[in-house]
């Protein structure tokens, strides 16, 4: 049986949290650097570069772990998140988005066009 005092439990928790936060900051910095150097990247190409670079920096990082953090970073729409897009460092564009039949789709979904547009932003 292994028992931790509060201070060791806190230290163990903080070590994991610090590692995760460090990875997120490295990821954000790398995304920004890659996008600024190579304009017009597809997501797949960005993912390939990010996985390769982060594994070069830290060989213990698993590919699936990196991909999970990357998709969370790119797809987050939370205004409070400090993502490169929310900070205005990168821009994500979705080809074909502006040509959507918003009225037709919103009618099929039985929601107003205004509500549907909010989810597109």
Domain hosting 42: range is: 6-90
- Residue found by looking up tokens 């490169």 in the block: 84
72 & 22 share domain: yes
Q: Is 84 buried (19+), middle (13-18) or exposed (0-12) by CB count in 10 A? A: buried
| Rounded Cα–Cα distance for residues 63 and 85 (Å) | 23
**Mean of pLDDT values over 87-91:** 73
101 & 63 share domain: no
pLDDT at 5: 55
Q: 27-82: per-residue pLDDT in tens?
A: 888 988 998 898 888 888 998 999 999 999 989 989 988 888 887 787 665 555 67
- Phi then psi dihedrals of residue 4, to 5 deg: -110, 145
The two structure tokens encoding residue 80 = 């409070």
| Rounded Cα–Cα distance for residues 12 and 48 (Å) | 32
pTM of the predicted model as reported, rounded to 2 decimal places = 0.60
21 & 73 share domain: yes
């Amino acid at each position: 049986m292994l028992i931790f005092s509060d201070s060791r439990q806190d230290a163990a928790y903080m070590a994991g949290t610090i590692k995760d936060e460090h990875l997120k900051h490295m990821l954000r910095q790398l995304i920004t650097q890659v996008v600024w150097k190579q304009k017009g990247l597809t997501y797949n190409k960005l993912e390939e570069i990010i996985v390769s670079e982060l594994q070069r920096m830290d060989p213990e990082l698993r590919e699936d772990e990196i991909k999970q953090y990357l998709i969370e970073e790119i797809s987050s729409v939370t205004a409070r998140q400090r993502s490169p897009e929310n900070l205005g460092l990168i821009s994500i564009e979705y080809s074909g988005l502006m040509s959507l039949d918003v009225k037709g789709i919103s009618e099929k979904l039985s929601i107003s066009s205004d509500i549907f547009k909010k989810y597109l932003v």
